Every structure is written in structure tokens, then in C-alpha cells.
Structure 1
Amino acid sequence: MTDQGISLVLDGQRLHLPYDQFPWFRAVPRELIGRVVRPTPGHLYWPELDIDLSLESIERPNAAPLCAR
């Protein structure tokens, strides 16, 4: 976690989720960020937060914006 977003390491690759594109994580305690499951190879799910994200939306956030402007 930084002031700008959160980082995850998945399959040896570091993924960065900036708060401006993934605002749901901004006020989440660090211990909840780490409680992520991978229900399918292309998805991550935070059950306690009810956040479900595809890896594509994380790797290419501008291709499919998750927030309306």
C-alpha cells in the first residue's frame, strides 16, 4: 500500500491498483487487502469487501474503466 494505491504480487508479477482507478481500496485496512482469493485464473475476489476484479481490468484499466466519469 502507498498513498497512490495498492500492489499485489501474483504469479511473480507485481500488479499496481491505483486509487484513482480502484477507489474501493482507499480506506481498506491492510489486513483486508491481503485476504484475496482467486476463484478462477482470470479473477481476484475480496470476499470481506465484496470486490471482484478481472485481471484484465487490473492490467489494462483504461481498456474497460470501472468508474463512470
Structure 2
Amino acid sequence: MQYLLVDTHQRLLGTLNSEKALSVGDTFQNHDAQSYTVVGLNWFKQRSHSQSLTVIPVNPNLKPALSER
């Protein structure tokens, strides 16, 4: 599935092709090795095969919070 990637201000960041269906909370890397977490799903009513993901960048080098260990 091809996704449009947008930030929380609805600015286009690019596209992502993924064999896996993504949902809120999923983390992925784009082709430039940048990591993002999905915070929103946006379906287009006009095109049933198109979906945009609202994403925020994440730093994969950060340690998880104590509650996540």
C-alpha cells in the first residue's frame, strides 16, 4: 500500500510504500533511514486505495521510559 506522509501541521513529508498495513502507534523507517511513529490515519473518501498517515519523527537511539522496560 502506498501512504502519503504528513506532519501534525498537515505538511507533506513524502510517500511510503509498505507491504504491511500501518496503524496508530507503529514505528517505521523511510528510505532515508529516518524513523517515524504513526499518530493518525486519514482516509480519502474519493480514492479507496489512498491513505495518508500523520507521523512524528522519533529518535531510535533514545532509551525507553522506565514503564516500557
For normalisation by structure 1, the TM-score amounts to 0.29
As a proportion of its length, which structure holds more helix? Answer: 1
The structure whose Rg is larger is: 2
The structure whose RCO (Cα within 8 Å, separation 6+) is larger is: 2
For normalisation by structure 2, the TM-score amounts to 0.29
